[in-house]
Structure 1
């Protein structure tokens, strides 16, 4: 299998099997793919066969949704073993998980739930990250969550909490721009201010996705990180702000629900490509102006 050690600073998409033929025929402008780890932990069959073919042509990022990295209970050793087996044979260019929890006792909850940002949580999550990285023998990236409430017990701002986790564990970060916008709207903070405070030097991937718009019981806007629509214009604008500060990064478009036909998703990737191209044109101009 062809080995791809890093993701390119270019558009990627969240891979869906219904797009396999279109991607193999002509994937432009997509340069890399992301899969959800839990969809490929089986023993074989068409999904793994197709993934092997795709991995010959594209760098692949493995994105976990089931480790419950923030859970109060120990990590599930069986789940971690299945994840290690997948990463060992696929040798992905990147592995990431969410700053969230999704388990209680022996039950798995089909959601990614938030955490209070306290010293106790910091130690627990840091220990779990160390366990994952030691088991996999590779760095992991940790994704900022989409939030619908804030904990009164939190003593850390989210960007500072993520910065400290990266410092303690050596993990990288995955900046989900849609999550920033969703959380900022729901909790009433400035998304640009969040980005300005974020440790962008630790970011190995940037994610984009669609959200649903609703209202809360008081009539205030409430955004849901649903991944079932096109990326909203304000999120594209926020991406431009991120890239202007971070420089080029791998940019992924996620579309997990009500998945459209391939041309629709490819158009979203082209918009990401334009954002990266515009950044590259601006940077030489700025360098010339300084000189």
Structure 2
């Protein structure tokens, strides 16, 4: 059985070469029907905060078959109001119960106050890249890691607006976060491309590669791959995870694997879901890229763990 019970570390050597998929509700039955040729699955943490019931039972079955990545969407690590204590308590309980291999959230804010009441935005709101917001992010990441007793990965987000007063680049912001908080980075290659398309007139793939060049190799613990949708009016690229991984994203992934090595990789597909076999075929493409382009310094799969 392919399952790891070791604690999380950014760029952990025992996840090198791992390939996984985001596991969504329509695919639960398929995922549990047999152990497939993937190394891990990702679930959204908030969907499993309930201590009992059907969702908890399903998650237990999943963790019996696969290594698990918990991907949170509601921590709001960049929120100036800090993180909701009740949320952290639920997250910590879930981590203790399922002992995930990877834990991640986003470099964004979600919590704020209206008339003195703490409210959640219900979305991943982008941060202005300033020293003040960086400090909020560092403080919150440190608080989370201290509370759960593990390192987490923080993901770059897509955005549809540019701030006027940002005095750090996105990569400076993320690298400084990782260095000061000792977290790792989850680099979403599709999000890089979405932002480049929406905010730059330069060649998107070339610009995205230069983005990656600014990240030290030891900071990355995971890649996300996804597809996007083009909108005609206004002319935007929408990060909706409703398509197969784009050719452009595959090209960027090849470059990333050459530069960073066989980093754990996840296929994200959240809307207009395909059948399970199509999703697995996307994961197999990622594995082929790793096998073709990664420097062969270590074994890229832990076949000895499979049942």
| TM-score (normalised: structure 1) | 0.91
2:281 to 241, 250, 267: 267
Q: Is 1:251 the counterpart of 2:282 in the alignment? A: no
2:194 to 159, 167, 182: 182
CA–CA distance in structure 2, aligned partners of residues 110 and 78 of structure 1? 16
Question: Does the 8 Å CA contact 1:212/1:224 hold for their aligned counterparts?
Answer: yes
Q: Is 1:109 the counterpart of 2:126 in the alignment? A: no
CA–CA distance in structure 2, aligned partners of residues 155 and 215 of structure 1? 31
Structure 2 segments unaligned to the other structure (5+ residues): 7-13, 298-307
1:151-185: CA deviations, max 9, x gaps?
A: 11111111111111111110000000000111111
CA–CA distance in structure 1, aligned partners of residues 29 and 110 of structure 2? 34
The corresponding residue for 2:155 is 143
How many Å apart are 1:8 and its aligned residue? 4.7
How many Å apart are 1:27 and its aligned residue? 4.5
Question: Per the alignment, in what secondary structure is the counterpart of residue 115 of structure 1?
Answer: coil
The corresponding residue for 2:249 is 235
CA–CA distance in structure 1, aligned partners of residues 232 and 132 of structure 2? 33
How many Å apart are 1:16 and its aligned residue? 1.7
Q: Which moved more, 1:235-244 or 1:13-22?
A: 13-22
Question: Does the 8 Å CA contact 1:17/1:47 hold for their aligned counterparts?
Answer: no
Q: Which moved more, 1:20-29 or 1:184-193?
A: 20-29
The corresponding residue for 1:287 is none
How many Å apart are 1:277 and its aligned residue? 1.2
Counterparts of residues 275-290 of structure 1 (less than 5 Å)? 275-280=289-294, 283=296
How many Å apart are 1:268 and its aligned residue? 0.8
Instruction: Specify whether residues 179 and 119 from structure 1 end up closer, same or farther in structure 2 by C-alpha distance, changes over 3 A only.
Output: same
Equivalent pairs, count: 280
Question: Does the 8 Å CA contact 2:78/2:134 hold for their aligned counterparts?
Answer: no
How many Å apart are 1:103 and its aligned residue? 2.4
CA–CA distance in structure 2, aligned partners of residues 267 and 143 of structure 1? 24
Q: Which moved more, 1:80-89 or 1:187-196?
A: 187-196
Instruction: Specify whether residues 58 and 226 from structure 1 end up closer, same or farther in structure 2 by C-alpha distance, changes over 3 A only.
Output: same
The corresponding residue for 1:289 is none
Q: Is 1:32 the counterpart of 2:40 in the alignment? A: yes
1:20 to 28, 53, 71: 28
2:209 to 192, 207, 211: 192
How many Å apart are 1:57 and its aligned residue? 2.3
How many Å apart are 1:264 and its aligned residue? 1.3
User: RCO (CA 8 Å, sep 6+): is it higher in 1 or 2?
Assistant: 2
Q: Is 1:4 the counterpart of 2:5 in the alignment? A: yes
The corresponding residue for 1:222 is 236
Question: Per the alignment, in what secondary structure is the counterpart of residue 111 of structure 1?
Answer: strand
1:124-162: CA deviations, max 9, x gaps?
A: 110000110011110011001112222111111111111
Counterparts of residues 59-74 of structure 1 (less than 5 Å)? 59-74=67-82
Q: Is 1:100 the counterpart of 2:117 in the alignment? A: no
Q: Which moved more, 1:173-182 or 1:257-266?
A: 257-266
Question: Does the 8 Å CA contact 2:16/2:262 hold for their aligned counterparts?
Answer: no
The corresponding residue for 1:49 is 57
Structure 1 segments unaligned to the other structure (5+ residues): 285-291
Question: Per the alignment, in what secondary structure is the counterpart of residue 15 of structure 2?
Answer: coil
How many Å apart are 1:107 and its aligned residue? 2.4
